[in-house]
Amino acid sequence: MSIIAEVAIDGGGFTVGRALAAPRGTTVELEQVVPLDDGIFPYCRVRSEDEPEVFEEALASNPAITSVTRVESDDDGDSGDLYAIVWSADAVDGILAAITETRGQVLSATARDGRWRFTLRFPTSGRLADFQRTTTDADDDVDVGRVYAVADGKPDPDFGLTAPQLDALVTAVETGYFRVPRAISTVDLGAILGISDQAASERLRRGVETLVRNALDVPEHRD
């Protein structure tokens, strides 16, 4: 049995958060799920209406980053630009150091407007308690939200949704997008999410498809 915890923290409190600081309305998602002691996040995905060169220049000049390469460009307005990042040896600090010390695993990590949201897996509730004590002792302003247990080997509790897809679906439900008649438009929803109305529509469609496939075990159609 593993323990899943959803936590939030200001990006200014750890090196990776400061390095990946982005303009308001930009979403940054750490792409690869790895135990931190196996290598710090090698990929991040950035969704922004700004030109990617602005973000790239900021990354390249940061001493915590050894190299940065854009490996995938945002051609459909929803997927974002994917970057390969090589971090310096001392980039794991703050909340990331606490996760490593307590044998935690990062399942997802997404930032918007300077606020990071992590979904973390711990092998036991005791390890989660150690994590909370470590961050408290370090005066890290970590807000622990939902905590729940999952049986090892069971499907992801978020049904395979990416953090942006989950955020879009929850926001759509909370703001009445799915009501009949709709309470808000995709333009309004996109404004709340900090993306275009087309990107919001595409993210919802992909999220709904992923949710239905995984929740109802619908096989993927192949031509």
**How do residues 122-171 score in pLDDT, each as one tens digit?**
988 899 999 999 999 888 888 888 887 776 655 555 667 777 888 889 89
Residue 86: how many CA atoms within 13 Å on its side-chain side?
4
**What pLDDT sits at residue 219?**
62
**Mean pLDDT confidence for 109-127:** 88
> Rounded to whole angstroms, what are the CA distances from 23 to 16, 79, 118?
16, 18, 20
- State the average pLDDT for the chain: 82
**What pLDDT sits at residue 77?**
53
What percent of the chain shows pLDDT beyond 90? 16
**What pLDDT sits at residue 153?**
54
Which residues 6+ apart lie within 8 Å of 21 measured at CB? 11, 12, 58, 114
pLDDT > 60? residue 118? yes
What percent of the chain shows pLDDT beyond 70? 83
Q: How far is it, in rounded angstroms, from Cα 141 to Cα 120?
A: 16
Lowest mean pLDDT among 52-56, 119-123, 158-162: 158-162
**What pLDDT sits at residue 209?**
86
**What DSSP element (H or E) covers 116?**
strand 115-122
**Mean pLDDT confidence for 12-21:** 88
Q: What single letter denotes the amino acid at residue 73? A: S
- The pTM for the full model equals 0.63
